[in-house]
Structure 1
């Protein structure tokens, strides 16, 4: 099944996917030769999606190919399109952010360099929570490696992309054997957090719909009622899972480091970071993504000189 999706300009798929991926070792959201590939789980097996930008940054058009039995069902196909649009921020209007950045001598050049980045979101609330748990108190590379192992063990794959497993659903992990999770590299504590979160979401203790109608502070309070979700994790899920663009994960040590490097500041902590990012409200979370791209470019993972849609 082949579809075409429009995006609100400006848009660059490469920048957005890298902000979603965070690390080249991400085995769930892959990027190769200008194509974003991802599998999604369903009760009928995996759906494999390939997304490529055909239009320019200012006239963006995405070509999407979907493979799997589930895409024969129009309702399921539409569900996947809705998820892709949300994950890639296709409908997010950043005109207010661009206007604010234009008058900021620090932010303006950064935003201009990464023009077309849209704020990415994880596919589901559970995936956002699992990412937060996996990345607690370990390096980002280690956390993403754990998530790749988790998907390979518990997520389905389509025959066209047997190496690309969908992220597990809550019901896939509710009764997961703790020894199996420990064998993947999860600590005993994180194993308990993951299975507990899976059961909580499968039973409806907290839903994405309930979070959507709450304000930022309310959403983070609700998230913090879940076992294993404290302030950093709640902020991380609010930004990356719920699309709350005013939320900057101020306890993120990596963000401290890269924010300070960008601005030429001495070492930052959570309190100093919180004070600093107030100047960019209500778009502090977008600054988080732009600083991330700066780090990825410096590490050689991202090429800015390649026009959108040309790879």
Structure 2
């Protein structure tokens, strides 16, 4: 991959925004395989319109991010610079006006400590729909640590490896990469047959254009988008809301059945038991239109 030309971009950050808090979230697993973090900089390979670019992101003072395009398969044109900036803004949810969430959260007994402890954190996104759906499927009913192990196996077996400046980067496999596989092809990942079937089935729907981000965004409502997702075998309400939260950026997406959310509420309240779903609904009543951010902030107490 050509690394002979580098280009630096400056992206203004919104308020509130903390690159340190977002980087701390990205550091949560030593088994992450899609980006590297060193000396306060995060680097990764990204795909934009079938072109691959290596980018490195770091803080530039308190008010901007420095994004270095370190190489790629396309010339660093104004179009590519614009697309890279758009990707970074989406990844860090930088176009979200968070002040209303903070105003609500400071008055909420579950969230007030969270917004103080993690001030400037954004819901880190998964811009690619197939990657988001895959992560939701892989993570079903297993620990977060093992989910990262399954992701690494999938990426290193079926993803693409690229290099620049003698550094190696991985790209998540595309839906087309997985759509033509069989359960036997995935057996080396050591996950359940059902998950293999779910992954291949979702890949086929995405590769064939039956499920797209645009269709979900144009569904008309969160509930309609959720129904589109749960109609796919292997995607239930938890996975659907996770995808709507992390990929479609719907702030009212609410994975209410999430075990991590239950444990976080138990942690914050000091209770000796997990809350019931009805108790969560009561506690979450003030979070209307901010359920995704409330969930993400509460997760940070544990993950």
TM-score normalised by length of structure 1: 0.86
Distance (whole Å) between structure 2 residues aligned to residue 28 and residue 2 of structure 1:
21
Residue correspondence of structure 1 range 173-212 to structure 2 within 5 A = 173-212=178-217
The structure 1 residue matched to 2:43, chosen from 29, 37, 45, is 37
The structure 2 residue matched to 1:150, chosen from 154, 179, 185, is 154
Distance (whole Å) between structure 1 residues aligned to residue 8 and residue 120 of structure 2:
24
Shift of 1:42: 6.1
Q: 1:44 to 1:89 in 2, by over 3 A?
A: closer
The structure 2 residue matched to 1:276, chosen from 283, 289, 292, is 283
Q: 1:237 to 1:21 in 2, by over 3 A?
A: farther
Question: Contact 2:179–2:201 (CA<8 Å) still a contact in 1?
Answer: yes
Q: 1:188 to 1:162 in 2, by over 3 A?
A: farther
Distance (whole Å) between structure 1 residues aligned to residue 29 and residue 225 of structure 2:
27
Shift of 1:77: 4.3
| SS state at 2:56 partner | strand
Give the structure 2 partner of residue 285 of structure 1: 292
Give the structure 2 partner of residue 159 of structure 1: 163
The structure 2 residue matched to 1:68, chosen from 72, 78, 82, is 72
Shift of 1:13: 2.1
Higher relative contact order by CA 8 Å / sep ≥ 6: 1 or 2? 1
What do the CA deviations read for 1:53-79 (whole angstroms, capped 9, x no partner)?
Answer: 1121xx233333342122535444433
Matched, 1:137 2:144: no
| SS state at 1:31 partner | strand
Distance (whole Å) between structure 2 residues aligned to residue 21 and residue 217 of structure 1:
32
| SS state at 1:89 partner | coil
Matched, 1:263 2:272: no
**Aligned residues: CA RMSD:** 2.2
- Structure showing the higher strand proportion among its residues: 2
TM-score normalised by length of structure 2: 0.88
Question: Contact 1:181–1:191 (CA<8 Å) still a contact in 2?
Answer: yes
- Number of aligned residue pairs: 294
Shift of 1:253: 1.0
Distance (whole Å) between structure 1 residues aligned to residue 78 and residue 169 of structure 2:
24
Give the gaps of 5 or more residues in structure 1: 297-311
Matched, 1:122 2:129: no
Shift of 1:105: 4.3
Question: Contact 1:149–1:184 (CA<8 Å) still a contact in 2?
Answer: yes
What do the CA deviations read for 1:98-133 (whole angstroms, capped 9, x no partner)?
Answer: 111233344223202211111221021111100000
Give the gaps of 5 or more residues in structure 2: 1-6
Give the structure 1 partner of residue 22 of structure 2: 16
